[in-house]
Structures are given as C-alpha cells and as structure tokens.
Chain A
Amino acid sequence: MSALADLFTGAMVVAGLFFFLAGTAGLLRFPDTLSRLHALTKADTLGLGLIVLGLMAQAPGPLAALKLLAIWLIALLSGAIAGQLIARAARDGRG
C-alpha cells in the first residue's frame, strides 16, 4: 500500500514540476505581459494542484490532507485574482 502511495506521489510531483517548468519557460520566453501571465498562472495553478495531490497521499491523517487541500484552494484563489489584477494593470498601461 505504501509503495503504491509512494509511486503515486512521485508521479504527481513530477507531473506538477513539469507544469512549473513549462510556466517558467513561458514567463521567460513569451513576448508580452498578458501571454507571460497566461503561462504563469495556468502552470502554477495546475502544477501546485498536482503537487498537493501527490503530497496528500503522504499525509499522516485526513486532517493534514485537508490542510494541504486548503493551501491549494487559497493559492488558487489568490493566484487567479492576482493574475486578473496584474492583467488589468497591464491593460490600463500601468504595467
């Protein structure tokens, strides 16, 4: 059982890291603010979600797993809204 959980964690974290890598590449390579933001927010949201999913399999109990989930949800909310705020600032020429 624990070997299966370890395998799941490894796969999810590697998949999550791939999205982080893709997002970082987009942040460095895309030409304008909006595309860079697009790459970053999408990748971070999905990447963090996969890593949290992987780590939930290692959590000592349901409470710890729920805490991890809450961290992801809060990061999701603040990431999405920060993305919107930066995009609006860029659109209005304040970026």
Chain B
Amino acid sequence: MKLALDAVLVATLLVLALFSLAARQARASAIGFMGFGLVLALVWVRLGAVDVALTEAAVGALTGLLLLGATSLATPAAQPSRPLRLALAGLCALVAGGLAFLVLEAPDPAPSLAAAAVEPLAALDLGNPVTAVLLAYRALDTLLETVVVVLALIGIWSLAPDADWRGAPMVPGADAPSPPLRLLARLLPPVGLVVAVHILWIGADAPGGKFQAATLIAAMGLLVLMAGLAPAPKLGNTRLRALVVGGPALFLALGLLGFLVPGSFLAWPEGLAKPVIVLIEVALTTSLAVLLALIVLGPGARRPRA
C-alpha cells in the first residue's frame, strides 16, 4: 500500500518535471514547476523530513509567484544553438547520474550525524534537531542565508530608475481589486498570522520555524496590498529599511557578543542558548517577512500611489 503511494508520488513528480521542461509557453512551465514543488513537499513528508516539506511548500509558492511574474516580463529568447543544448543536457545528465549513483551506492547503514545532532539538544533546551542545526551548530550558514536574501532585495531595488527607486512599488491588481479578493484579504490574514506565530513558536520542538512563518506573513501582507486595502509602502521609508536589516543585524550583533562570553563567534552563552535562539528567530521572522514581500513587489515604480 505504502509502496503504491510512493510509486504514484514519484510518477507524478517525474511527469510534472517533464511537463515543465517540455511546455512551449514559459507560463505553462512556471505553473508546472509550482505543481512540481507541491508534490515534492508531499515526497519530503513521506521521507520524514517535515521541516523541509514545510519550507518547500511555503517558499515554493513564493518562488512560483516570482517565476510567473518573470514570465510576463520576459521576451521569448532565441532558441540556443544545438551544441549548447547538447552540452547542457550532458551536464544535467552527469549531475543527475552522479547523484543517483551516490544514493544507490550509499553504504548500509548510511553514515549519519543524526545521533550527534540529537545528543546536545537538552543543553540547548530545544526539541527540534533541525532548529538546533540551523541556529546552534551551523548558525553561520543561517546568518549568511539571511544576508543573501537582503542582497537579493538590494539587487531587485537597483533595477529601478534613479528617480523612482525610493517610490512605492506597483502592486498588480490593486487599482481595481475585485470584491471577492477584498473579502479574502479581510478574512484570511488574522488566521494566517495566528498560524504563522504557531509555526514559529513550535519550531523549537517540532517541525516549523522562521522561514515558513515569514513566508506566511509575507503572503498575508501581499494579499492585503493586492486587494487594495493598504497602500504599498514607499521603499525609501527609513522604518521599512530598519525592519529589513534589523533581524540579520541583531543576529550578527549577538554572534559578535559570542566573542566576549563563551569566546567564539556565534557561540551562545551557557544556559542562555534558548532565549537567544528565540530572540533571533523572532527578529529574523519579522525581517524575512518584510524582505520576502518586498522581493515579490519588486523595484520602486514610476507612479507612486498615495
């Protein structure tokens, strides 16, 4: 029974992957890719990686939106030359083949750091080993990840002409929002925010955490903006920019404090690991939510709306 379920999932995944590669229109490709992400999230659940599944579902929906937006802007490119396409196909086949070989040839039992990751959980006062990896053992990776998101936003903002880049971004559909969308934008955000805080809070002990929560908050914010219930913020706003860099800056500052107390960068003081991690998670969630929403909204536009 479970084998049949897995077989259906894998077959659907492969069909969706082929569809988004073979689709003639870029828009169809993007939609196929969003479906692929959703099925992939189910596969992660089947593999027991619920944290990854939640991230895939949340961030996948957001990147799908970005891809859809990009397809409406992009002009159809000329077909690349045949040798180039063959070389690309060869490269992709090599990577996929290499990964398949490694997975199939992995020694049994596979080498695992799981025991090492679970063992110090009590000292950190955490129940979810994934959160411990992200914010205690490998905090540097998480710090760099959030900085990368800030850099992405700076890159997007720099696409605006000089005169407009402090203005509010254009919100698609906000000039003439339809009544059903306005209804949804009034009903859903309270529910979405409660779920986001829940996901953030249980991240310490169960699957969940800042990225998933931040994506949900960003989506709720975008919904309100697209329904025209609130004007898009001006990108030059100092408070908005402080929100954007606040989380990463706090993370960095606490990391530097680690030099003083336990004696190394990004090391948390003995006994205070849990409060420090919670503080960072909350600050990063706020920053990431604003960042992700602003990335979707894009650069400042010519007609700043009041």
Where the two chains meet, the residues of A that have a C-beta atom closer than 8 Å to any C-beta of B are 74, 77-78, 81, 84-85, 88
Instruction: State whether A85 touches B178 (Cβ < 8 A).
Output: yes
In the assembled complex, the Cα of A58 lies from the Cα of B184 at a distance in Å of 31
Instruction: State whether A77 touches B180 (Cβ < 8 A).
Output: no
Where the two chains meet, the residues of B that have a C-beta atom closer than 8 Å to any C-beta of A are 178, 180-181, 183-184, 187-188, 191
Closest to B181 in A: A85
Which residues from B are CB-within-8-Å of A77?
Answer: 184, 187-188
Interface of B, secondary structure class, is helix
Indicate the member of A78, A81, A88 with the most B CB atoms within 10 Å: A81
The number of residue pairs between A and B whose CB atoms lie closer than 8 Å in the complex comes to: 18
Known: A74-B188, A81-B181, A88-B178. 11 other contacts (CB 8 A): A74-B191, A77-B184, A77-B187, A78-B184, A78-B188, A81-B180, A81-B184, A84-B180, A85-B178, A85-B181, A88-B180
Closest to B184 in A: A81
How far, in Å, is B189 (CB) from chain A's closest CB? Answer: 12
In the assembled complex, the Cα of A85 lies from the Cα of B178 at a distance in Å of 7
How far, in Å, is B89 (CB) from chain A's closest CB? Answer: 32
In the assembled complex, the Cα of A85 lies from the Cα of B184 at a distance in Å of 11
How far, in Å, is B285 (CB) from chain A's closest CB? Answer: 21
Can you give 18 contacting A-B residue pairs, CB < 8 Å? A74-B188, A74-B191, A77-B184, A77-B187, A77-B188, A78-B184, A78-B188, A81-B180, A81-B181, A81-B183, A81-B184, A84-B178, A84-B180, A85-B178, A85-B180, A85-B181, A88-B178, A88-B180
